[in-house]
Amino acid sequence: MQKKIASALISVFYKDGLENIVSELHQLGVTIYSTGGTQKFIEDLKVPCVPVESLTSYPSILGGRVKTLHPSVFGGILGKRDDAQHVAEMKQYNIPEIDLVIVDLYPFEETVASVTGTGFQAGDEEKEKLIIEKIDIGGPSMIRAAAKNHKDVVVVAAKKDYHLLEHLLKEQNGSTTQEQRRMFAIKAFDVCTGYDMAISNYFNQTSFVSPFTKERSVLRYGENPHQQGVFYGNLEELFSKLHGKELSYNNLVDVDAAIQLINEYTVTTFAIIKHTNVCGVAQRDAVKESWDAALAGDPESAFGGVLVCNGTIDKATALAINEIFFEVLIAPAYDGDALDILKTKKNRILLQLNNAAGMLATQAKHVLNGILTQQNDIGNYAEWKEVGGMETTAAQKEDLAFANIICKHLKSNSIALVKNKQLVGKGCGQTSRIDSLRQAIEKAKQFNFDLNGAALASDAFFPFDDCVKIAHAAGITSFIQPGGSIRDKDSIAYCQQHHLAMVITGMRHFKH
């Protein structure tokens, strides 16, 4: 049901971007109520404005802490237009209907950031006073009231939505639908939730940032079409979408895994991600060579994957990539002719990574009736302890370090086989480490890789020497693993007896 806006209450901290809305409301003949600085802003635009004090019969008091908390304001927002008793009481107490509420919140988080950035310590009364005064009371109350009564009231709670309101005012001549009012209400409740979380975090002195404090984007669906999906966050902080369809839930999960992996490397590297696991990765002197080697690692699994590179995509690389089907390509830069080639498929998603450092330093996961959080696994090895029957060569060192990083980004139990800085076989997500190893060896054989002289990384210790024996039989000559088993000596002894290199890192990399 469409409802026409006849009156509006505007009281905002951020006034930039408000001019066009005020002008449009004035042209539509809407009565505007306002307070303090916002009232002056509107009147300076030569638009008539009714002060809220004329409704409440009270001035702004207690240093501005109380100005809108009054039945004449909240009655106008909360009154049900189709409820005879509400309508009668509003008429009895001379309460006008308020159809549109444009209210934002005091900049609490910005104030905390500026104050804590000047050496703030708990107990500093003057600085804490500045923060306390930015805890908004009337703003959240009006926003929640309007959102609750969205059947009759439009609520805009953030300046980023001004453009959407302006569009609706122009296109629909000041009317809104029930669906549109509900959409604004959802946005408003999200704003209040984030604001309350920021205040709670400050007083609890916690560094965890709830994902629900971020911007909200409804996805086409979740992991499967029958599941709803929502993303909380601002993707534009990390990358620009240059081409293609909207990112899906599964795309975002894989993109996250891809960026976390590519952040590990500083030299030219290309990787292919499938269902969050690495299925191909290689380092070479040029981007095209890195792509060729990464794809060769498992060309079957690459189909429909997410591709990521830390170098510029040139024409030669684009031509090679264009020969396969993939969902997403991520790179820090693209040559113009490369983009022309890659854009020939309309649904293909092309992302330009602008700020990999903008990834959160913590991870969160819903389990049971709560949330688990942890720091990202930024480690590689705590130490490099040579315990085998030979010292690692320079080439082995490079392959072992390369393989160890890959293991971090594979689901446990994980095994990565590397040769010449190319993933040639991997096993992951198995309930047995031996099964993961067998899977990795079979993968390597499937694509005709010679494992003689290859390096093996394991995300956790070898509980027995069986994995080392199986790997050695396949031609593998160097190993990297965290150690920590009560039977470490069995694997170490086997390597010493057969002149195999083994490095213990002291750092496990489970990924569930």
Using the predicted structure, report yes or no on whether residue 119 has a pLDDT greater than 50. no
* Residues classed as catalytic: 148, 275
pLDDT at 433: 93
pLDDT at 368: 87
pLDDT at 55: 81
Strand segments (E) across 128-267:
154-156, 175-176, 216-218, 230-232, 239-243
Using the predicted structure, report yes or no on whether residue 210 has a pLDDT greater than 70. no
Using the predicted structure, report yes or no on whether residue 78 has a pLDDT greater than 80. yes
Residues 383 and 166: their CA atoms lie apart, in Å, by 59
Using the predicted structure, report yes or no on whether residue 54 has a pLDDT greater than 80. no
% the chain with pLDDT above 70: 94
Using the predicted structure, report yes or no on whether residue 267 has a pLDDT greater than 70. yes
Amino acid at 507: M
**Each residue of 428-447: pLDDT tens digit?**
999 999 999 999 999 999 99
What is the edge-to-edge ordering of all strands in the sheet holding 269-274?
239-243, 349-353, 326-331, 305-309, 269-274, 277-283
Judged by DSSP in three states, 126 sits in: helix
Using the predicted structure, report yes or no on whether residue 122 has a pLDDT greater than 60. no
pLDDT at 64: 65
pTM of the model: 0.65
Cα-based distances in Å from 405 to 18, 90, 132, 153, 492? 50, 67, 45, 54, 22
Task: Look up residue 401 and give its DSSP letter.
Answer: H
Using the predicted structure, report yes or no on whether residue 118 has a pLDDT greater than 50. no
Average pLDDT estimate for 451-472: 95
Using the predicted structure, report yes or no on whether residue 381 has a pLDDT greater than 90. no
Task: Give strand pairing partners of 327.
Answer: none
Count CB-CB contacts under 10 A for residue 179.
Answer: 8
pLDDT at 453: 97
Using the predicted structure, report yes or no on whether residue 212 has a pLDDT greater than 60. no
Using the predicted structure, report yes or no on whether residue 115 has a pLDDT greater than 80. no
Using the predicted structure, report yes or no on whether residue 395 has a pLDDT greater than 90. yes
Using the predicted structure, report yes or no on whether residue 207 has a pLDDT greater than 60. no
pLDDT at 213: 53
Confidence grade of residue 116 (pLDDT, cut at 50, 70, 90): low
pLDDT at 278: 94
| Backbone phi and psi for residue 485, each to the nearest 5 degrees, phi listed first | -80, 150
**Each residue of 484-505: pLDDT tens digit?**
999 999 999 999 999 999 999 9
Using the predicted structure, report yes or no on whether residue 33 has a pLDDT greater than 80. yes
In DSSP notation, 145-158 reads: HHHHTTTT-EEE-S
Using the predicted structure, report yes or no on whether residue 232 has a pLDDT greater than 50. yes
pLDDT at 307: 97
**Each residue of 273-326: pLDDT tens digit?**
999 999 999 999 999 999 999 999 999 999 999 999 999 999 999 999 999 999
Q: Can you list the domains of the chain with their CATH numbers? A: 3-208 (3.40.50.1380), 235-358 (3.40.140.20), 385-504 (3.40.140.20)
Determine the Cα angle at 48 with ends 4 and 168, to 5°. Answer: 30
Confidence grade of residue 117 (pLDDT, cut at 50, 70, 90): low
